[in-house]
A and B are shown apart, each in its own frame.
Chain A
Amino acid sequence: MQIEFELVTYDEELDKFELDETIYQMELSEDDAETYHLLKDSDLHLYNWLKESGFFTKYIKEEVYPESENKKIAISDINGISFRRFYFFKVTSGDSHYEYFKKLFDIHEESDWQDREDVGEEILQCLSTKRKELILELS
């Protein structure tokens, strides 16, 4: 089985992510394909599995960024499952992203008083920690 994925690069100085804009393809072994199918409905589990998998980092280091020691990257899409909201969320982002993060970060919006901007800032605060978990450093 083959998976398609996209990447973002992280600029530590600017604390900014940038889309790589290339669609990469990689062949999975039978065992890995089985794991993929088990995890594909749970986006962050899928992400973490791929990030922690030796075959994936090996592929990135050898095929994608062969001469980029200490480069920091993250995965933006895996077979159409998007992780872009983790890197590019803004207070002006659409409602679906708000709903996703409110659930993920257990943010209780008290809608009888709370402003959208206020919730957005809280999401950004939570994301500053979460992003660190998602970044993959190529050694």
Chain B
Amino acid sequence: MDHKYIEKMLSKMDEDLSKNGMSRRDAMKLAGVTGAGMFMGGTTDAFAAEEKVVKSNAKGKIVIVGGGLAGMSTAARLTLNLTNPDITVIEPQELSVSYQPGQTLVGGGLWDEDDIAYKRDDFIPDGVKIIKEKAILFNPQENKLTTEKGTVVSYDYLILATGLHLDFERIKGLEDAGRAMSAGDNERLLKALGDDGICSIYTAKGATKTWEQMQKYIAQAKSGKKTKFLFTHPSTPVKCGGAPKKIMYLTNARLKEAGARENAELTFYPNGGAMFGVPEYHDAILGQFKREDFKWHYRHNLIEVDKENKIAVFDAKWQEKGPWDPVMKDFEVIPKHEKVRVPYDFLHITPPQLAPREIAESDLGSAKGWVPVNKETLQHIRYENVFSLGDVAQVPMGKTGGSARKQYKVVVDNLIALMNNKKLEAKYAGYTVCPLITDIGTVMLAEFDWTVKPTPSFPLDPTVERWMWWLMKIYALKPMTIYGMLSGRA
């Protein structure tokens, strides 16, 4: 880890704690966690310490497509675990390793874009080759791929960590936005969203714009005008499923701070029929929504934005009891749809998300586009020398930095096992973490896995919003990610 950065972070945290009359030690006691490990990665599973590594002599040319958090961490860990690694990362985006979980904080005006921007070239592990081009053609039968500049790259082992695309163009009225990725200038997207209340924290630039728009409409509410704030959640898997709600909570906090809350109506329109897939967290969030006087309408999917008239159009879905099925001896369930038009002042869009076209349309993609892998070993279901992790992998509930943090170690262990002709024994168990910001100063640390039950790393009620988790989110997670995970150790 970068000790200078950590010292700076700890001193900032101490400052924050002392404002509340506490020392760091007191804070840790309050959290029920002993030792410094809580913030720096020592004592719990969630913050595992550095491990002793026995290097493998396994040989083979490894190509990693995607140099974001998942890809670059994998590259780093492979260099730590192989004696003579031959690794190439293919990544065209200069800011590919930027800290995406911070986009919510940028959108809420707590951080600046500069706080989350990190350069790919500063995180290329020693000895790893980089091709600054985009891979566009995959030929897994011949273990080759081709970049947009025509460079043909062959490999023995391939790791797909391309991330996903934000499919704004699927929404009628935003066709000009095209598809976007989190990093990059995203000029086309920003132009399509305009300056009249539509925003999205799902890109770094968009997060800055979200803060600008939020301030504008908070000022409107403060002036006494009734102001409608809408927040959406689409009908596709999304990265960080908590983010659509986090930005709503931060908007609420900023409205309260400005003394403008009473003129604002905040409404959440999720495509699904629950606040969260884990019942315990669903119940907790529902309680928070009631407490904060939020409104919500389940099973509403944003399909159109009428920018001129400031109307969001949703496909609203419900089910009706159908006819008796004499063969199945049960009543059928008939899905119903209708278009619902909702006026807005401020509209935060969580865009539909999908695998990059070049993956989805290749032999490496599944019918749904994502890379079909064994969800435990993360090995491709058809090509045994291919692995995938991060947002592009077809893994349930796996599109968060916290999931990638578990997955990259599994991929490294299993790839080395394969290179050594051994059984793939490392398994991903579906761990995901969502530090759900519920206010400026509180976070509910939602940890869970495929058991769809809370799996807290700390001996505390995970459904309780805590200031301690806020401190962790603000001060500890970024250095842990940037200097711990990207070094292949944490």
Residues of chain A touching chain B, judged by Cβ–Cβ distance below 8 Å, are: 19, 82, 84-85, 88-97, 108-118, 125
Contacts and interface: CB of A to CB of B under 8 A. Distances in A.
Interface string B265-283: 0000011111111000000
Contacts of A112: 233, 241, 270, 272, 274-277
25 contacts: A85-B328, A88-B325, A92-B322, A92-B332, A92-B333, A93-B330, A93-B332, A94-B325, A95-B333, A97-B330, A108-B397, A108-B430, A110-B396, A111-B273, A111-B277, A112-B233, A113-B233, A113-B235, A113-B236, A113-B237, A113-B238, A116-B333, A116-B335, A117-B335, A125-B367
Contacts of B233: 112-113
A31 B154 CA distance: 60
A110 B397 contact: yes
B329 interface: yes
Nearest to A8: B327
B319 A113 contact: no
Contacts of A108: 396-397, 430, 450, 452
B331 interface: yes
A15 B161 CA distance: 39
Contacts of A117: 335
A92 B272 CA distance: 18
Contacts of A114: 235, 272
B332 A90 contact: yes
A91 B322 CA distance: 12
B334 interface: yes
Nearest to A98: B333
A20 to B, nearest CB: 12
Interface of B: 233-238, 241, 270-277, 317, 319, 322, 325, 327-335, 367, 396-397, 430, 450, 452
B328 A116 contact: no
Given A110-B237, A113-B235, A97 B277 contact: no
A116 B274 CA distance: 13
Nearest to A76: B327
A96 B333 CA distance: 11
B375 to A, nearest CB: 9
Contacts of A90: 332
A96 B277 contact: no
Contacts of B450: 108
B328 A84 contact: yes
A2 B271 CA distance: 50
A2 B273 CA distance: 46
A96 B241 contact: no
Contacts of A91: 335
A95 B241 CA distance: 25
Given A97-B328, A108-B452, A110-B237, A92 B335 contact: yes
Contacts of B238: 113
A113 B396 contact: no
B333 A93 contact: yes
B333 A113 contact: no
Contacts of B430: 108
B447 to A, nearest CB: 16
B333 A88 contact: no
Contacts of B335: 91-92, 116-117
B235 A115 contact: yes
B397 A93 contact: no
A19 B322 contact: no
Contacts of B234: 113
Given A110-B277, A113-B234, A113-B237, A84 B332 contact: no
Contacts of B331: 94
A94 B329 CA distance: 10
A127 to B, nearest CB: 13
A118 to B, nearest CB: 8
Given A110-B396, A112-B241, A113-B238, A19 B452 contact: no
B272 A19 contact: no
A92 B274 contact: no
B279 to A, nearest CB: 9
A113 B452 contact: no
Most B CB within 10 A of own CB, among A82, A112, A116:
A112
A89 B272 CA distance: 23
B271 A113 contact: yes
B329 A82 contact: yes
A134 B471 CA distance: 55
Contact of A96 (B236, B276, B330, B367): B330
Given A82-B329, A116-B333, A125-B367, 17 more contacts: A85-B328, A88-B328, A89-B328, A92-B333, A92-B334, A93-B330, A94-B331, A95-B333, A108-B450, A110-B397, A112-B233, A112-B274, A112-B277, A113-B234, A113-B236, A113-B271, A115-B235
B334 to A, nearest CB: 6
Contacts of B452: 108
Nearest to A125: B367
Contact of A113 (B270, B317, B327, B332): B270
Q: Which 6 A-B pairs have the closest CB atoms?
A: A108-B396, A94-B330, A92-B332, A112-B272, A111-B274, A113-B272
Nearest to A96: B330
B327 A88 contact: yes
Nearest to B242: A112
Nearest to A82: B329
Contact of A94 (B274, B328, B397): B328
Nearest to A122: B368
